[in-house]
Amino acid sequence: MWLWDLPTANFFSEVIQVARKMAEATKKHVFIGKRDPEAGDPKDLDAKEAEPPSLCTRSNSRATKSHRFSSVKCLEFKKRFFPHIGEYAWNDWRWQLKNRYTHVLSLPLLFPLIKEEKEAIHTKGRLPMAVTPYYLSLFWDMPPEDPIRRSVVPTSREFLVSEGESQDPLGEEGNSPAPGIVHRYPDRVLFLATNFCSTYCRYCTRSRLTGRPDNYSLKTAWEKGMEYIRSHKEIRDVLISGGDPFTLSDEDLGWLLGNLRSITHVEIIRIGTKVPAVLPQRITKALVRLLKRFHPLFINIHFTHPVELTNETQRAVEMLADTGIPLGSQTVLLKGINNSSGTLRELFLGLLRVRVRPYYLYQCDPIMGSSHFRTTVQEGIRLMKELRGHISGLAIPTYVIDAPGGGGKIPVDLGTTIEVNPQGVSLLNYQGRIYSYSNPGQAL
């Protein structure tokens, strides 16, 4: 049962107020979507969210000339809602960040909201929302059930909490010995570099953190994290995540990577990001030159649906691949978004074509209010079986559950091993046929 009753008249009244504000902004040559229409004074809290955190005063705001391969939907959206913005500005990743849509109230001017989306507006606590103009161009003219729209636009379903859900389902805070550090496995750590993302996924594992302004100095936190890694020589692998590390400036990212690379026992650095899918303008020539200095470097990219594989995204991942960085993908299995073998097949094969190796398919983590996104594990097993043997093994990721409570990633048994005995094993192939493999025995 819902704890509120949506006042429809009030909703339309608020939309009208937003429209008036945006019309006034247009008259002053401030472009529609400049920032959250209800953000008010840029010094307010929402304005802090308008730009990614930076440790450096020098700006790297020059637009890239790398993205001249705009998709048709992107061009149509830009022409309709940002007619005064030139290609140079549109392809500037900092412009994209500053012009994010950060409130559900800004969306009715682009497309009609359904009841559940309207209900998300009238709550005691605002649901953080952020979508780049680029990413919004992929679904603004699509129906409510569009997979990309469902993954980033808040709905009232997020206020329905089911059994087993929690704010920190993976127990990261209990495995954090230093600010921003999660040390769960013996030889590797997770380094949470920022709470900021360019676009917020509704099913985010760290929704308790993302979208909230940092209440501490990033540099201070980073230095404490570096100190912890230096003092634990068993750590050989560092995964930088967040938030999204690629929303940091080149200077800040270079500082972070340089300091990690200076630690002699750190052999591998990985970066987890969704930027190539939601903000491909960020992948510039300057950025890839920077990243190339810190090999061996690996990048795992969060992809949700084949719709994300646009010309812009393809260009971005190819620039990364051309620097010699191995690219992997991580996908969350989501009900009503990508839970069909056809969708997953199209996504995984599409990723291979742009030199991204499907790495993990995650069972959706039980964060608060996530039941409408989560499939059953049995469905995930069925989907993996439908893929196995029918597409290249290179295109099939490992299906895992990140065990609630901090147990780490556990591969899901697909039931291919029928029997194990001293003589060998009985195995089930993709066609449902049983085959035997014999262990080495005594010579005849």
pLDDT for the residue 403: 86
Determine the number of helices (DSSP H) and then strands (DSSP E) in the chain: 15, 12
Does residue 345 carry a catalytic annotation? no
Residues 172-208: b if buried by 16+ CB within 10 A, e if exposed: beebbebbbbbbbeeebbbbbbbbbbbbbbbbbbbbb
Catalytic-labelled residue, pool 118, 146, 149, 197: 197
User: Which of 35, 150, 184, 385 is an active site residue?
Assistant: 184
Identified catalytic residue from 34, 188, 208, 236: 188
Of 42-51, 100-109, 393-402, least confident by mean pLDDT is: 42-51
Q: What is the DSSP string of 392-409?
A: -GGG-PEEEEEETTTTEE
Q: What share of the chain is helix, strand, coil (3-state, %, to 5)?
A: 35, 15, 50
Alpha carbons 242 and 271: distance in angstroms, whole number: 10
Residue-wise pLDDT for 363-386, tens only, equals 988 888 888 999 999 999 999 999
Q: Report yes or no: 166 and 129 within 8 Å, Cβ to Cβ.
A: no
Residue 119 is predicted with a pLDDT of 86
Write down the architecture of domain 173-411 according to CATH.
Alpha-Beta Barrel (3.20)
Structure confidence at residue 3 (pLDDT):
34
Confidence of residue 187 (pLDDT cuts 50, 70, 90): very high
Q: What does the pLDDT average to over 267-282?
A: 97
**Which position among 34, 157, 185, 214 bears the catalytic label?**
185
DSSP 34-50: SS-TT--STTSHHHHTT
- CATH 3.20.20.70 range(s) for the chain read 173-411
Query: Does pLDDT of 31 surpass 80?
Result: no
pLDDT at 139 over 80: yes
pLDDT at 208: 66
pLDDT confidence bin for 124, thresholds 50/70/90: low
Report how far residue 239's alpha carbon sits from residue 229's, in angstroms, rounded to the nearest whole number. 12
Mean pLDDT to the nearest integer, 87-106: 92
- Give catalytic status of residue 188 as yes or no: yes
CA–CA dist 277, 309 (Å, integer): 7
Given pLDDT bands bounded at 50, 70 and 90, which one contains residue 123?
low
Decide: residue 11, CB within 10 A, 0-12 exposed, 13-18 middle, 19+ buried: middle
Share of the chain above pLDDT 90, in %: 59
pLDDT at 287 over 60: yes
Task: List pLDDT tens digits, range 33-92.
Answer: 333 333 333 233 343 444 455 444 333 333 334 334 578 889 999 999 999 999 999 999
Handedness of CA 15, 17, 21, 26 (dihedral sign): positive
Check if 402 is active-site.
yes
Q: Which of the residue ranges 16-20, 27-31, 65-69, 134-138 would you say has the lowest mean pLDDT?
A: 27-31
Catalytic entry in 94, 118, 200, 201: 201
Which entry of 118, 206, 315, 374 is annotated as an active-site residue?
206
Residue 184 catalytic? yes
Please enumerate in sequence order all residues whose Cβ is within 8 A of that of 26, keeping only pairs 6 or more positions apart, or say none. Answer: 32
Is residue 74 annotated as a catalytic residue, yes or no?
no
For residue 112, the model assigns a pLDDT of 92
Longest dimension (CA), the chain: 92
| 118 catalytically annotated | no
The Cα–Cα gap between 129 and 142 comes to 19
Distance CA 188, CA 260 (A): 13
Chain center to CA of 425? 40
pLDDT of 14 over the 60 cut = no
